[in-house]
Amino acid sequence: MQSTELDTQQFLNSLNTALVMVDNRLNIVYANHAGEALFETGRKQLCGHRLDDFFLPGNIDTTRLRAALRHGEDFTENEIRLCFRDNRNVMVDLTVTNLQLEEGARLLFEVKKIDQQKRISRENLQNAQHYAARELVRGLAHEIKNPLGGIRGAAQLLEKELSEEHKEFTQMIIEQSDRLRNLVDRLLGPNSLPRFNWSNVHQALEQVRSLMRVDSETPITIIRDYDPSIPPLMIDADMIQQAVLNIVRNSIQALTESETPDPQIRLVTRIERQMTIQGNRHALIAKIKVIDNGPGIPSEIKDTLFYPMVSSKQNGSGLGLSISQTLINHHGGKIDVESHPGHTEFVIYIPIDRKETDNDE
């Protein structure tokens, strides 16, 4: 019997579908591994607590659940959004089944995250668009740089033939040529290969936090919520720092320009299990979240947010997020974003490789 129960537990824990069971008081009594991942906490922190304790007020219709318990009704809802108290939003298909066990009436929730399928489709589309945009930009950039160098050189030669009073015009040509060249170089993005080393990702985040505390003129609260269990990662720490820095600067600009009351940015790290990125399956993924309570991303630029020269900021160049995307792509990772008024969340996913030790055989 014990062997059968163990096999059942292993089977339930191997499912991608989140299973969560509650008793007649709507207290959680069971969750499989996918259920724990859905709540982003362990079974000990789940069992014994009320189901609606984990969600924003009004997100869980407890009246309907109690009615389902009384009448023994099952029901299914498609494409509903679960809003957790930590401001996570998950789109799911939900099936609720009544069970009559020796311990009494139970409700079993089968939760299938449909965000993942949409995310994979969106990721494939983003990768194709990002590649196409990069190739287009690279082609245009090289076409611009060649005549630009000629213009600058001609201005320098012309300057030698002009009187002092007219040299200001050639200087203007040279300065504007240099400005355009710098812009083109930024459009081309990082041209150096990453230098990978085993690094603690939190050190890079702390560097970002320190820079923002010094640079930002607006008093913005930066909250840290780190997972200390994340192991050292094989990364280029400088590239990760730059990628996060670009995102944080965008958040600060959005908070400042919108004059958001009590502006906050949260830096959060977590571990994600069993995730596919760029067609590769990874057992462990490090997640870096940059969350702000600003006005949200305008709907008209959501689909092109990572394109070069796309920005909703008054003085934005639209290159920061594109560069961040390229830097994270160098690490075999990706960037996702979810945004609505009052909550914008950028999530950087970086695969976790196993660090070999001297004791490994």
Residue 161 to residues 117, 132, 168, 170, 172, Cα–Cα distance (Å): 65, 45, 13, 11, 16
Please list the pLDDT of the chain residue by residue as tens digits (361 residues): 456 777 788 888 888 899 999 999 999 999 999 999 999 888 889 999 999 999 998 889 999 999 999 988 899 998 888 999 888 888 899 999 999 888 889 999 999 988 666 666 666 666 666 666 666 666 666 677 778 888 888 888 888 888 887 888 888 888 888 877 776 766 666 666 788 999 999 999 999 998 887 666 668 889 999 999 999 999 999 899 989 998 999 899 888 888 888 899 999 999 988 888 877 888 899 999 999 999 988 877 776 676 665 555 555 555 678 788 888 988 999 998 888 888 999 999 999 986 654 444 4
| Domain pair 7-113 / 195-349, same fold | no
| Backbone phi, psi, residue 209, to 5° | -60, -40
7-113 placed in CATH 3.30.450.20:
yes
| pLDDT single digits (tens) 318-339 | 567 878 888 898 899 999 888 8
**In the chain, where do the E strands start and end?**
18-22, 28-31, 75-83, 89-101, 104-113, 197-199, 221-225, 233-235, 264-277, 280-292, 334-340, 343-351
| pLDDT single digits (tens) 168-217 | 888 888 888 887 777 676 666 666 678 899 999 999 999 999 888 766 66
String of DSSP letters for 184-218: HHHHH---SPP--EEE-HHHHHHHHHHHHHHH-SS
How do the domains of the chain map onto residue ranges? 7-113, 116-186, 195-349
What is the torsional sign of CA 54, 58, 60, 63? Answer: positive
CATH fold of the domain at 195-349: Heat Shock Protein 90 (3.30.565)
Tokens standing for residue 84: 């957790």
What is the pTM for the complete model shown?
A: 0.58
